Amino acid sequence: AQSVTQLDSQVPVFEEAPVELRCNYSSSVSVYLFWYVQYPNQGLQLLLKYLSGSTLVKGINGFEAEFNKSQTSFHLRKPSVHISDTAEYFCAVSLFSSNTGKLIFGQGTTLQVKP
């Protein structure tokens, strides 16, 4: 079975500081990897995805993530955060072989940006 673990439930950080949100996955088959952001009382918005190719992927709002196959990780980073980045962040996978494309999510990480 596949699983996704987000290693930090909450990450407090000051505005303009760098941040890293950690994600590890477990799967016996190849997966696609995604990061989504959820603002209060809203649905999820795609930040970025890794499908193949370069292991460093860039997304919206200045976020980037690096796929590390040997460590089965897909950590999300931003060099300088803004107050508006305060939100819940979810890492997710879907299986290469899936006919449905259903997503398996981690538990989420709350990013709290302080002024």
Contact stretch for another protein (CB under 8 A) within 19-27, 60-68, 78-86, 96-104: 96-104
Whichever of 71 and 99 has its CB closer to another protein, that residue is 99
Does residue 33 contact residue 49 with C-beta atoms inside 8 Å?
A: yes
Which of the residues 54 through 73 are near another protein (CB under 8 A)? none
Cα 69 to Cα 9, 30, 32, 81: the distances in Å are: 23, 10, 12, 27
108 is a site residue for another protein (CB under 8 A): yes
Cα angle for residues 102, 104, 105 (degrees, 5° grid): 135
- Contacts with another protein, 22-41, as mask; x by CB under 8 A: ----------x-x-x----x
Cα angle for residues 11, 106, 82 (degrees, 5° grid): 35
Name the residues that contact another protein, by CB under 8 A.
4, 32, 34, 36, 41-46, 49, 51, 90, 92, 94-108
